[in-house]
């Protein structure tokens, strides 16, 4: 096993940022691992979180998976921000170019995976739904909701929609601009149905005491009604690392079984 911290000047972002890599033992012999996992952090987090708070290094070795952990602003929702930086472009283009240009990782879509927690779970599904040919599978851990329900009406982050310096204003401009856009988690589903898109395999998980548990159930029910198949697992727990540590390994096992 090996862990690499890559600190560099991003051409997309225009500032120094970090990407962390975990490489299974086979890469030391110049061989590609069984899969490459792009693993996204949550709101308020950074690229080191998965290494600090989970056993991701052990899981990568067990399942022979290379892991790529980029770093973004903690409230950007992996968007090309209206007032800020182009994080979705950075993630989907530059991070991939860096990982696949520097390291012996898999470049075949059938061997690429993406996953994330909370805001990163939303980001993983956003990437997978908007670039469905890029991945074999995607996992959303505790980020499974209609984003309009989070920020609109009586959602748990509704107050942020009125904040001129909050995530809605900075990332999308307004709720009206968010609705129906590529960042609208309902629109992902609706567009896939309209266009008959072949999606990657989808995995979702959450703790049953998570504050967004009901929102997650509503979203998954909508996916089911629209004919979008999502493999779902739950366990006792809140919005916490014990859930994400357990579920990221279950995702790996599910994909590679």
CB-CB contact of 112 with 135 (8 Å): yes
- Tell me the pLDDT tens digit for each residue of 56-98: 999 999 999 999 999 999 899 999 999 999 999 999 999 999 9
Map out the domains of the chain as residue ranges. Answer: 2-256
Give the chain's residues under pLDDT 50.
Answer: none
Residue 111: C-alpha distances to residues 107, 137, 200 (Å): 7, 9, 11
What is the per-residue pLDDT for 205? 98
* CA–CA dist 219, 54 (Å, integer): 27
Q: What is the pLDDT of residue 244?
A: 98
Distance CA 104, CA 48 (A): 21
Structure confidence by residue, pLDDT tens digits, 18-34? 999 999 887 666 677 88
Q: Which residues contact 164 (CB under 8 A, 6 or more apart)?
A: none
pTM metric for this prediction? 0.95
Classify domain 2-256 at the CATH topology level: Rossmann fold (3.40.50)
Tell me what percent of the residues of the chain surpass a pLDDT of 90.
Answer: 86
Task: Please report how the helices 56-63 and 241-256 are oriented relative to each other, as an axis angle in degrees rounded to 10.
Answer: 10
Question: Please, what is the average pLDDT of the chain?
Answer: 94
């Amino acid at each position: 096993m090996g862990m690499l911290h890559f600190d560099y000047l991003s051409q997309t972002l225009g500032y120094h940022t970090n990407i962390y890599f975990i490489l299974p033992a086979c890469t030391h012999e110049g061989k590609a691992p069984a899969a490459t996992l792009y693993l996204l952090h949550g709101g308020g987090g950074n690229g080191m979180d998965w290494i600090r708070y989970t056993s991701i290094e052990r899981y990568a070795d067990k399942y022979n998976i290379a892991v790529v952990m980029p770093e973004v602003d903690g409230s950007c929702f992996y968007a090309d921000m209206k007032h800020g930086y182009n994080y979705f472009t950075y993630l989907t283009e530059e991070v991939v170019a860096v990982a696949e240009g520097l390291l012996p990782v898999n470049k075949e879509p059938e061997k690429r995976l993406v996953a994330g927690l909370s805001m990163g779970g939303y980001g993983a599904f956003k990437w997978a739904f908007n670039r469905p040919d890029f991945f074999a599978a995607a996992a959303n851990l505790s980020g499974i909701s209609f984003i309009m329900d989070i920020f609109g009406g009586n959602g748990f982050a509704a107050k942020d929609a009125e904040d001129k310096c909050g995530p809605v204003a900075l990332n999308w401009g307004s709720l009206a601009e968010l609705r129906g856009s590529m960042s609208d988690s309902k629109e992902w589903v609706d567009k896939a149905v309209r266009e008959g898109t072949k999606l990657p395999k989808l995995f979702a998980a959450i703790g049953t005491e998570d504050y967004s548990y009901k929102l997650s159930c509503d979203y998954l029910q909508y996916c089911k009604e629209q004919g979008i198949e999502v493999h779902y697992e739950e366990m006792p727990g809140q919005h916490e690392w014990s859930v994400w540590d357990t579920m990221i390994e279950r995702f790996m096992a599910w994909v590679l079984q």
